[in-house]
Amino acid sequence: MKNNIVALLSQNIPEISNEELMQLVEIPPKTDMGDFAFPCFRLAKVYRKAPPMIAQDLKEKIGDVDFLDKIEVQGGYLNFFVKKEKFAQQIIEDYLNTKDFGSSSEGEGQTICIDYSSPNVAKNFHVGHLRTTIIGNSLHKIFKKLGYNVVRINHLGDWGTQFGKLIVAYKKWGSKEAVEKDGISELMSIYVKFHDEAEKDPSLNDEARAWFTKMEHGDEEALSIWRWFLDISLKEFMRVYDILGMDFDSYNGESFYNDKMPAVIEELKEKNLITVSDGAQIVDLEEYNMPPCLITKKDGSSLYATRDIAAALYRQNTYHFTKCLYVTGLEQKLHFAQWFKVIELMGYDWYKGLVHIPYGLVSLKSGKLSTRKGNVLYAEDILKESIQKIREIIDEKNPDLPDKETVAKQVGIGAIIFNDLYNQRIKDVLFDWDKLLNFDGETGPYVQYTYARAASVLRKIGEVPSTFDYSILTDEASMALLKEISRFPDVVKDAAEKYEPCVVARYAVSLAQTFNKFYHDCQINVEDDATRYTRANVVSIVKNIIKAALDLLGISCPEQM
Ligand code: ARG
């Protein structure tokens, strides 16, 4: 319908391109301002006239149009009132004629790599990693919907001097039994002990460095201990991914680039980018107002940034990405800015496709989340706690619900994911159980509950022919709902453009609210066949779109709740 309006305007305003008209045409905040509005302010310069006069002229020029009820001038705006039946028909037909509504082919032939989750081996999978996992997974789904080929990369933090420390700590104070029993918790506690002891005896640091150097040179003893730590950690990480139902295309972590580093350092030297400073090799970035990017330490060992540079080159050569996204906390902003600059200085034009996607912190309303040893928050515990809380709610409110365990999982996890994605990434996420589990709030459970309600309505009505009588959809609640339906494809595009899953999350709430209003105002299971069929078919469309929207966030929907 917007296209029709734009076509109409374009016939009468040759001075402005179709594209710009498309951007200018708005959807007014109130229905008494019409279904679409065209602000004439942009034309004031072109025609040297006041906007209200321009609007009046345009109205006269346009005259009567078959798909419009009327056009009104309000201030500098031209307000279009679409013939409701026609409008309804067009929206429904649009939906029915698209195979996977909301999808598009804009990304066809292009690859996007998304580097996310990427927890650190021998460290706990904490709430920050939960954020990158949830955001990265959603971005992956959003870009896939737009036809991109997406590569999900888990850049595990499985390499670096900390493993030298861990080996020393294990040899001095660890035991196989304890590590096998307590896994990452035990590795973390011997790591902490290492730091305490190294304060008293700095020679421990030299020992640790020597072990990491052994790792970098392929020493079998060092590597076998490291590999064991890696296995233990991966097992715990996998438990989190299993609960979330998420997966990756590549688990190539930092260690994968160990043998690719010398070539990178060589290339940096050839391109005259390396400066030696105090024995370390760096890329000086003073000219760009940034501290230097560290490439090798004094002892020759590589650093986080070196491995990121090697990884980017590898990914470009392997996947030929148009974009490579890095989802991490905001605190790593400088790190990415630095090595993105290095790639640019190396002369690679594709540096433009490297994008850092930062996010804010997680804060807790009360310190009441269960913690393990040392007051550290584990993502796994939080997910389990959420599921448990939903289990209790179900047992209290709907004890006979079939398949309770699956529903508790879907809703418990959905609540956590939704809470994470409802605001802009950069905002801190507040963990407040009462709020995020509230079935009436702007929450995952609320949207899922709306979905289940739609499912239940349809179950009661049973099969109906897929016919529509558009004259039944002209009331306010139905029109509002249809307009929400029609927004979905733009919502997906907008979310991708901004790398913001919250655009989809907010849409899901708004669609659910509009549906609930429709459900309240328009009785669905009525005697009259035409009305019943039409409304049931609309419910079915909404149900599908809620499911699709939640799927883009990584949330699944129970049919009954
Ligand atoms: N392992 C890092 C961390 O936990 C995140 C890695 C992000 N990805 C990257 N290519 N640097 O902070």
Closest Cα to atom 4, ligand 1: which residue? 119
Q: Which of 401, 386, 424, 410 is nearest to 501 (CA)?
A: 424
User: Which single residue is written with the structure tokens 């209003």?
Assistant: 517
CA 154 to ligand 1 centroid distance, Å: 9
Q: How far apart are the C-alpha atoms of 372 and 376, rounded to whole Å?
A: 6
pLDDT surpassing 90 at residue 252? yes
Closest Cα to atom 6, ligand 1: which residue? 118
Q: What's residue 430's pLDDT? A: 87
Q: Which two tokens stand for residue 214?
A: 């052994």
Q: How far apart are the C-alpha atoms of 248 and 240, rounded to whole Å?
A: 13
Is the shortest distance between the CB of 36 and ligand 1 below 6 Å? Answer: no
Is the shortest distance between the CB of 254 and ligand 1 below 6 Å? Answer: no
Mutate to test the pocket of ligand 1, among 121, 328, 335, 336 (most ligand atoms within 8 A of CB): 328
Which secondary-structure segment (H or E) carries 429?
Answer: strand 429-431
Chain-wide mean pLDDT for the chain? Answer: 95
Tell me the pLDDT tens digit for each residue of 193-223: 999 999 999 999 999 999 999 999 999 999 9
Is the shortest distance between the CB of 339 and ligand 1 below 6 Å? Answer: no
Closest Cα to atom 11, ligand 1: which residue? 308
CA 319 to ligand 1 centroid distance, Å: 20
Q: Give the strand pairing for 111-115 and 323-329.
A: parallel
Is the shortest distance between the CB of 323 and ligand 1 below 6 Å? Answer: no
CA 157 to ligand 1 centroid distance, Å: 6
pLDDT surpassing 60 at residue 559? yes
Contact between residue 545 and residue 102 where contact means Cβ atoms under 8 Å apart: yes
pLDDT surpassing 80 at residue 369? no
CA 118 to ligand 1 centroid distance, Å: 5
Angle at which helices 444-461 and 502-521 cross, to 10°: 40
**In the sheet that 36-39 helps form, which strands lie side by side, from edge to edge?**
36-39, 77-82, 68-74
Write the single-letter amino acid at 322.
T
pLDDT surpassing 60 at residue 373? no
Is the shortest distance between the CB of 157 and ligand 1 below 6 Å? Answer: yes
Q: What is the mean pLDDT of residues 106-123?
A: 97
Q: What is the mean pLDDT of residues 173-179?
A: 96
Q: How far apart are the C-alpha atoms of 123 and 237, rounded to whole Å?
A: 10
- Residues pairing with 281 in the sheet: 276, 296
Quote the percentage of the chain above a pLDDT of 90. Answer: 94
Q: What is the mean pLDDT of residues 175-198?
A: 95
Concatenated DSSP letters of 2-16: HHHHHHHHHHH-TTS
Is the shortest distance between the CB of 410 and ligand 1 below 6 Å? Answer: no
Is the shortest distance between the CB of 256 and ligand 1 below 6 Å? Answer: no
* Residues whose CB is less than 8 angstroms from the CB of residue 282 and which lie 6 or more positions away in sequence, other chains included: 274, 275, 276, 292, 293, 294, 295
Q: What's residue 199's pLDDT? A: 95
CA 177 to ligand 1 centroid distance, Å: 30
Is the shortest distance between the CB of 353 and ligand 1 below 6 Å? Answer: no
Q: How far apart are the C-alpha atoms of 533 and 524, rounded to whole Å?
A: 8
CA 326 to ligand 1 centroid distance, Å: 8
CA 104 to ligand 1 centroid distance, Å: 31
Q: What's residue 375's pLDDT? A: 60
Q: What's residue 366's pLDDT? A: 61
Is the shortest distance between the CB of 118 and ligand 1 below 6 Å? Answer: yes
Q: What's residue 377's pLDDT? A: 79
Nearest atom within ligand 1 for CA of residue 336? 11
Is the shortest distance between the CB of 115 and ligand 1 below 6 Å? Answer: yes
Nearest atom within ligand 1 for CA of residue 129? 4
pLDDT surpassing 70 at residue 372? no
pLDDT surpassing 80 at residue 118? yes
- Residues pairing with 459 in the sheet: none
Q: Give the strand pairing for 274-277 and 280-283.
A: antiparallel
CA 400 to ligand 1 centroid distance, Å: 45
Q: What's residue 299's pLDDT? A: 87
Contact between residue 72 and residue 82 where contact means Cβ atoms under 8 Å apart: no
CA 345 to ligand 1 centroid distance, Å: 22
* Residues whose CB is less than 8 angstroms from the CB of residue 291 and which lie 6 or more positions away in sequence, other chains included: 285, 334, 338
Q: Which of 387, 389, 383 is nearest to 239 (CA)?
A: 383
Is the shortest distance between the CB of 158 and ligand 1 below 6 Å? Answer: no
Tell me the pLDDT tens digit for each residue of 349-366: 999 999 999 999 988 776
CA 155 to ligand 1 centroid distance, Å: 6
CA 196 to ligand 1 centroid distance, Å: 25
Is the shortest distance between the CB of 253 and ligand 1 below 6 Å? Answer: no
CA 119 to ligand 1 centroid distance, Å: 7
At 341, is the pLDDT very low, low, confident or very high (cuts 50, 70, 90)?
Answer: very high
Position with higher pLDDT, 368 vs 334 = 334
Is the shortest distance between the CB of 338 and ligand 1 below 6 Å? Answer: no
Which secondary-structure segment (H or E) carries 115?
Answer: strand 111-115
Mutate to test the pocket of ligand 1, among 113, 114, 118 (most ligand atoms within 8 A of CB): 118
pLDDT surpassing 90 at residue 31? no
Nearest atom within ligand 1 for CA of residue 311? 10
Q: What is the mean pLDDT of residues 401-412?
A: 97
pLDDT surpassing 80 at residue 5? yes
Q: How far apart are the C-alpha atoms of 411 and 449, rounded to whole Å?
A: 9
Mutate to test the pocket of ligand 1, among 115, 127, 155 (most ligand atoms within 8 A of CB): 155
Tell me the pLDDT tens digit for each residue of 44-95: 998 999 999 999 999 999 999 999 999 999 999 999 999 999 999 999 999 9
Tell me the pLDDT tens digit for each residue of 261-312: 999 999 999 999 999 999 999 999 999 999 999 999 998 888 999 999 999 9
Quote the percentage of the chain above a pLDDT of 70. Answer: 98
CA 357 to ligand 1 centroid distance, Å: 12
Long-range CB pairs of 501-505 (<8 Å, 24+ gap) are: 501/135, 501/138, 501/139, 501/142, 501/421, 501/425, 501/552, 501/553, 502/421, 502/422, 502/423, 502/424, 502/425, 504/138, 504/142, 504/421, 504/549, 504/552, 504/553, 505/418, 505/421, 505/422, 505/553
